[in-house]
Each structure stands twice: as C-alpha cells, then as structure tokens.
Chain A
C-alpha cells in the first residue's frame, strides 16, 4: 500500500471515529431526458409530502424514494422537514387512512431509484449523491444532510 493510500485510509478512519457514521448526502434527481434542470426546495417539499405534485413549469411528476431503512431516507426528511422516519410514518398514516393521497413509490435501494428515474422523465427521486450516475441529473441538493 502506498504512502498516499495509507494517508487516505487514516483520514477515512478518523472521519468515521469523529462523526460516528458515514453521512448520507441526499440529492434530488430526475432523468437526463427530462427538460427539468433545477427544482426549488419548496417544490421538493410539496412533491414529497403529497401537497402538490407539479413543478413550476407545469410538469406533473411522480415521487419515488429508497427504502425506509436507508440512511439517505433518514437524512432526506431530517434535512428537508426536520422530521424523523417515525414522524413521516405518522404523517402518511393520516393521509393514507383518510383516503386523501398516496405516498411516494418506494424502492429498496438507491440503485433501483436511479434505474427507475433514468427510464421515466416524469419521475423524481432522491438518493445518496454517491449513487448518482450519468443517466440521471441532480436537480436539487439539500443544503445539509444529517446521518
């Protein structure tokens, strides 16, 4: 192992010790085939809470998200709404059992979300930045993502 690699490992280990966990950096993505290049924080909030699922340019979008136990899901809602996963369950329980609206479609991994979003320009999802591929475009990055 080179000296440079050793330094990288040491920095990584130090980072893990000081933060206690690897931080997920949530980014909102759409397909590169979509004409949308950027969305606002308010649009993201409205779309992922089921309040209003249309972008400012009039495009109707369908939200998708990774599984409930993924670090990025916790980070996304904590950063976007200041809510825990349990609080989001309570939020959706109210809307589902009153028949008002449906929650985002859920896929178990980031890779599945990226795969589905890449194929359909009407989908909007969020994943950890490290999962982003060239087939999708980051349209919004959360200013701070907590573990």
Chain B
C-alpha cells in the first residue's frame, strides 16, 4: 500500500511516501468498523450531487435528497522552546520523544486532522477522522482517531458504535482541536484517548437548561511511552458514565468510570528487572506485583464546572484516579480567560498529586535493585504543578494564534522526560522547575 509518512526531526518536517505493506494495525473489530464507515461515506458521497455550501467551521457541506455529506479539517502548527539541559518536553504521554533544550521544536504540538461525515435524514450518521500527530514510535503516521456509525432514533437520544473519543474528563474528547481550546494544551490529556466500542446519550430539558446523560463502554486503543518502553494499552476494557447540565453559559459535569489494563509490560529489560526483583529481593514479589500492569484496574471520577459567556471563559475541576493497589492520584485545575476584541488572555493552574509511600524491597539502602525499584515505583506517580499564562489572538474566523508561558514544577513528572531524575533515589528526589515557551497557529479548514 502507499502510505503517507510524516516524520519530524528537531524543528524540521519531512514528508516521504513509502510502499510498506500494512502491518495489521486494525483489529478485526476496528477493521470491520472502518469498512462500514468507509462504505457509508462512499455511498453518501456518491449520492451527494446537490448543492455545496460552507458550514459553521468553514467546512464544506454537500446536500442531496435525504443525504448530507461534509468534510472538515483542523490543525495546529506548534512551536515549543525551553532551556533545561537534558530534559525533553512532550505534549502528552503518547509521544515517543519531546522537545530538547535550546531548540525551537515543532514536534509536540503540531497536529493535522481531517474528518468526513455523512448523515441520512438526521437519523443515521457515519463519520471518520484521521489525525497525524507525533506518536509513541516517534512518527507522524496518520491514525484513525474517530470512526463511528451513529443512530439517532429520536431527537433526545443517540447511539454510536465504532472508534470513539474518550470523554472521561470535561473536553477531553477535543484535546487535539487547538482552535476549540483557549489554552495550548489541556491540563489533562487523558489516556487512553480513544476506544473501540459504543456509547449512548440521552438529553432532557431541566429547569430551562439541558441535562445530558451518557454511558460508554469498549476496549481502549493506543500506546504510551515511558522512558524507553512503549506500553500498548489497546484492548483494555473501559466503561464510564457522564452526567452534564448546561444552562446559559454554565456547564456542570460529573463523570465516573474505570479501565482495566490488560497487558503486562513486555520489553526484555523490564522483564529482566522484574525477574531479578522476584529472585533477589526479600520483598521482591510484592514490589513486582505492585508494578505489574496485567489486570490493573483504575477508577476515575471527575467533577467540573465551566463558564463560557460574555467574553469570559473559565473552568475549575477536580479529578481522582484510584486503584486497589496503586496510590490515589488527584488533579485540581483552574483556568480563567477574558476576551478583549480579538485577544483572549488567560491564566491556568494545574496541581497533580500522588502519595509517595514507596514499597520496600527489603534490600539494604544503596542496593542497585532497591534503587531501581524506587525509580520504577515513582514512574507510576505524578507530582507536578503547571502554571500557564498566555493569550489567544483570533486572526480570522478560522485562524488563531496563541502564545503561552508555562512554569512547570515537578518531582515525579508526567509528560517530561528527565533522565537526571533517575540518578537520584526516587524516595528523596527534590522538585525541579522548568519554564516552557510555546506558540501555536490553530486553524480550521
């Protein structure tokens, strides 16, 4: 097959066409669903011979009797810069590498997405979205970020099946849509970002506002990168529910759900380390079990309140991730922005905390295996604050510029790759500070 491979190296973008065969990246479920969506889109495209007009985001919409066919796209050209030697900044945990010190880097925040949709009499809809962004392997290989069939039997309810965006946190289903967001990066770019499965939602008017209840279930997709290890999180069962109430400019929301990670970390070095722990450490089995990702259940809860009206945009949220064996993690977030003409200056603050009670291996302090066990346990924690100050400038109706400064203070970082953290005993590592400057050009087409 001919495949567009968009790779990037420090600040330089390169395009190349390859003729590599497909590697069976889609599961049977994903492949079947993709075929259905493509079929539906093709049928709609063939029928759409009527008028063409422009939609609300500048997208093209074609109409024919009963059918509406639309295509739309979004993108971000993003640049980041910092000067902390030895540290790489990543937008999120799925990226294979990040921005190194002293260079303007376009890799972490640059994204391109295209979406095709077809709807039949407002009752059936098929959509597919393909996105190119820096992935766990360090390439910009396009991937399917959405592909679903929707059935809306009545106005109040809709059911979707296919590849869907995770809506566990408020606005987490649109983390990549730079134009839709005030800030350059959402505080919690949640993983897994997508899942194969289904969802159903039901809306009802309540006290002159609108309430929405949504339930979803399926199997996660995607990969994460921890240091040199790529963790494939695909196939893990996910389920959850969201209750949202919107009135005027206010949105209140609570969400709850769980994921059961189903795959152990399988890279040879990790396997060797786990084996050594079990063999040589008195308490090695307990620590190894703690680190194991197989059948690890994590429960999520989030409450959020957002305001968006009369020029003001703001949000406060609090989320907790719990696991029967892992430490509980909390994420508190606040953001406020105000629009002055085309300018929207904003300020946000995120505080992620995980308790730092480490399991002892039973080996004496200073032992290499005990040291490594501490580092491994710290990798499952996030202790980090992120203060962001920036502004958005709407150049045109489809084009926005953003400039942002972040002061990130971390003990156990989430997206930052900092090898120097691994030279200090994890139990005693101090906080470290980095400043990050970012600029993005967000667009719709």
Contact residues of A with B, CB < 8 Å?
40, 42-43, 45-46, 49, 51-54, 56, 60, 62, 67-68, 81-94, 96-100, 102-104, 106-108
Contacts and interface: CB of A to CB of B under 8 A. Distances in A.
A108 B57 CA distance: 14
Interface in B76-122: 113, 115, 119, 122
Contacts of B181: 90, 94
Interface stretch (B24-32, B203-211, B227-235): B203-211
A86 B394 CA distance: 7
B171 interface: yes
Contact of A108 (B53, B129, B177): B53
A134 to B, nearest CB: 26
B55, B72, B113, B127 — which one has the most chain A CB atoms within 10 A of its CB? B55
B391 to A, nearest CB: 14
Interface string B133-159: 000000000000010101000111000
A52, A90, A92 — which one has the most chain B CB atoms within 10 A of its CB? A90
A100 B152 CA distance: 11
A40, A83, A97, A98 — which one has the most chain B CB atoms within 10 A of its CB? A97
B420 interface: no
Contacts of A42: 205, 208-209, 247
A99 B444 contact: no
For the complex of A and B, 7 pairs with smallest distance between CB atoms: A82-B310, A94-B180, A51-B210, A42-B208, A98-B173, A60-B155, A52-B210
Contacts of A103: 55-57
A111 to B, nearest CB: 15
Interface residues of B, number: 56
A27 to B, nearest CB: 20
B247 to A, nearest CB: 8
Interface string B197-228: 00000011100111010000000000000000
A52 B204 contact: yes
Nearest to B209: A42
Given A54-B155, A98-B165, A99-B146, A87 B339 contact: yes
B246 interface: yes
A96 B59 contact: yes
B397 A85 contact: yes
Nearest to A90: B180
Contacts of A92: 56-57
Nearest to B156: A54
